[in-house]
Amino acid sequence: MIPRNEYPRPQFVRDNWINLNGLWDFSFEEDTFDKQIMVPYAYQTKLSGIDIQDFHDTVWYRRSFFIEEELSGKKVLIHFGAVDYECDIWINGAHVLNHTGGHMSFEADITKFIKKGQNEIKLRVFDDTLDLELPRGKQFWEKTSSGIFYTRTTGIWQTVWLEVVNECYLSNVWMTPDLDNLALEVEYELVGNEGAVLETTISFEGIEVATHAVSSPRNKGVYKITIDQQALVKWHFQEELVWTPENPRLFDIVFKVVSDNKQIDIVESYFGMRKVSIVDGKFMLNNRPYYQKLLLDQGYWEESLLTAPDDEAFITDIRLAKEMGFNGVRKHQKIEDPRYLYHADKMGFIVWGEICAAYVYTRKYVKRITNEWMEEILRDYNHPCIFAWTPLNESWGVPNIMHEADEQSHSAAMVYITKSLDKTRPVISNDGWEHTCTDILTIHDYESRKEILSDRYKSLESTLSSMPASRCLFAQGWSYSNQPVMVTEFGGISFKKGPWEGWGYSNATSEEDFANRYYSVVSPMLESPVIQGFCYTQITDVEQEINGLLTYDRKPKIDPQIIRAINNGTWKP
């Protein structure tokens, strides 16, 4: 097995980095290191080389790494894509960091702990199997996966890597496109020498269209760059410059940090000139109404669970979804690897960002999920593919939100804290039902009969009076206020087309039956004058769920062109 070796942070690229994926020493419970594991795959997976699903809440990792260059005037940062759930890190025997949160990237400056030549890193990871206050998503707290829950992930599950930088370097940028004025707002943070100059160059398909230079005594600031439209004269219409799923145009951007007339840091990135908005109850992309046809995507693979087996797996999922006529996914109960978001940006594919739920409401839960949610928004803010944020799902973690003021306040707080960090995207307060201050009214409805769905969504009045799953659409004290309406979970038709046994919300017996059943649930969405988009459950089978359009190993269950024709409204049974 070749370890994952692609650049792990594709929207903030430097040349000088060292991949630490590969074989690590490993052990359960104590630091005996009697096993080896292939990082970044969790021990529960086949690709890890261990493939044990027993409960082991504490695991240990160790490996050596070599630093070739002298470090005078340099810093060495260690990055972890994700480690589930809490970890302590030692470098050459010195404790460097404790980190909590199982789904987000983090880093540490380890310069003072390392030396030129051979070095050692050691991790202790703790992941409490039975802690239901812990954001875990679909990871089951019982030994065997069942129902809607799957095999757990413990420990390192995304890339580990080192990065060598100068003492002054660019640490963060947040890029906000201004489509209406064809400009870009940049918020930046530098580490190191005060007064360094940040130079910015923007280009489009190889043509330089804007430059800017700024310095700040506080090593942080905000500036706006207007694109030179004369430089873009060969592209006659704005539609040729904007990002859409159909035409994912991207601008390249290079940031250079200069001090004493010397270049000391360079970062390459990109952005999409696109605008997501809601106007008069309509969902808009680039100031025009846009219909979203999404797939629910758990982001699991048979041999590697939450970790994609390789980078090509991301591309395959996006390609197959687009072939079937979908323009995006709602990533469900998972903060996805930035590599997936990168390919979605490049290939033109919408992503709704979500966080993993916990299942008990306490103050500890609120603190945990809020912290990790803010980290997700800040990390993934720059990706044009992300159209919406979903901090809560189906009242998971807030089981009494219908009538309890504190849980309703938590939902509202998650919406407003999201907006305080990102004013550019809509936020869904509690996907599925029992909404509070949501920007989009989203509904989960697994009814399989066309006539009932058609009647339910024939008008706004009939939609708002419906109670799929016997749940109210709004929590007590909250009501509809002209939000766009979307059905963001439905279908879930099971069809066995592989070795996996399982279930779905309704059952097909043949390819023809599956096509007819798929038509029966999708056509009412397309015909409804109310529904502005949908999210079908789901892209792939996952463990005991066999309700995917693809099998667990990504084989289409029926001709993708039939699914595409139904999605486009051109197929009849």
Three-class DSSP category at 323: helix
- Whether the per-residue pLDDT at 235 is higher than 80: the answer is no
- Reported as a pLDDT band with limits 50, 70 and 90, residue 448 is very high
| Domain presence at residue 280 | no
Q: Summarize pLDDT for 56-114 with one digit per residue, the tens.
A: 999 999 999 998 877 777 899 999 999 999 999 999 999 999 999 999 999 999 999 99
- Region 214-233: what's the mean pLDDT? 87
Q: What is the CA radius of gyration of the chain?
A: 24
Query: Taken in order 314, 319, 321, 322, is the CA torsion positive or negative?
Result: positive
Mean pLDDT of all residues in 498-512: 92
- Shared domain check, 143 and 76: yes
Give the tokens for residue 137: 């998503």
Evaluate if residue 2 carries a pLDDT over 70.
Answer: no
Q: What is the pLDDT of residue 5?
A: 84
CATH number, domain containing residue 228: 2.60.40.10
| DSSP notation for 210-274 | EEEEEE-TTSEEEEEEE--GGGGTTS-SGGGTSB-SSSB--EEEEEEEEETTEEEEEEEEEE---
* Residue bearing tokens 């912290």: 371
Asked if pLDDT for residue 23 goes beyond 80, the answer is yes
Q: Assess contact for 452 and 446: CB atoms under 8 A.
A: no
Q: Is the same domain home to 199 and 348? A: no
Residues in the chain: 573
Question: What is the total count of domains within the chain?
Answer: 3
Q: Are residues 262 and 291 in the same domain?
A: no
For the full predicted model, state whether its pTM sits above 0.75. Answer: yes
Residues of the chain with pLDDT > 90: what percent?
A: 91
Domain assignment present for residue 96? The answer is yes
Helix (H, G, I), strand (E, B) or coil at 380: helix
Residue 84 lies in a domain: yes
pLDDT > 70? residue 141: yes
Domain membership of residue 480 (yes or no) is: yes
Listed in order, strand segments (DSSP E) in 6-148 are 17-19, 22-28, 35-39, 58-67, 74-80, 83-84, 86-91, 94-100, 106-109, 117-126
Q: What per-residue confidence (pLDDT) applies to 308?
A: 97
Res 551: pLDDT = 97
d(CA 141, CA 393): 19
The whole-number pLDDT of residue 69 equals: 75
Instruction: Kindly state whether residue 7 falls inside one of the protein's structural domains.
Output: no
Domain final position from 118, 148, 166:
166
Q: Are both 179 and 158 inside the same structural domain?
A: no
| Rounded distance between C-alpha atoms, residue 327 and residue 242, angstroms | 16
Does a structural domain hold residue 149? yes
Question: Within this chain, do residues 102 and 234 fall inside the same structural domain, yes or no?
Answer: no
Distance CA(473)–CA(402), nearest Å, equals: 10
Per the domain annotation, does 276 fall within a domain? no
Do both 47 and 187 map to the same domain?
A: no
Residues 243 and 294 placed together within one structural domain of the fold: no
Answer yes or no: is 388 within a domain: yes
30 CB neighbour count, 10 Å cutoff = 10
Q: Mind listing the pLDDT tens digit for each residue in 305-345?
A: 999 999 999 999 999 999 999 999 999 999 999 999 999 99
| Distance of alpha carbon 407 from alpha carbon 435, whole angstroms | 11
pLDDT at 71: 74
* Same domain assignment for residues 301 and 397: yes
Q: Are 382 and 271 in contact (CB under 8 A)?
A: yes
- pLDDT range class, residue 1, cuts 50, 70, 90: low
For the stretch 169-194, pLDDT in tens is: 999 999 999 999 999 999 999 998 77
**Residue 498 clears pLDDT 90, i.e. is over it:** no
**CATH code of residue 353:** 3.20.20.80
CA distance 476 to 9: 42
Q: pLDDT class for 439, splitting at 50, 70, 90?
A: very high
- Does residue 542 share a domain with residue 439? yes
- Domain boundary at 228, 247, 271, which? 271
Q: What is the pLDDT of residue 218?
A: 84
CA distances 1 to 27, 158, 185, Å, are: 20, 16, 43
pLDDT above 90 (res 3): no
Do 259 and 393 lie in a common domain? no
318/452 same-domain check? yes
- Asked if residue 249 and residue 221 are part of one domain, the reply reads yes
Give me the domain span that covers residue 228: 169-271
User: Which residue, of 207, 239, 271, is where some domain finishes?
Assistant: 271
- pLDDT, averaged across the chain: 95
Percentage with pLDDT > 70 across the chain: 99
Dihedral-angle region of residue 192 (phi above 0 means left; psi in -120 to 50 means alpha; beta otherwise): left
CA dist 84 and 136 (Å) reads: 9
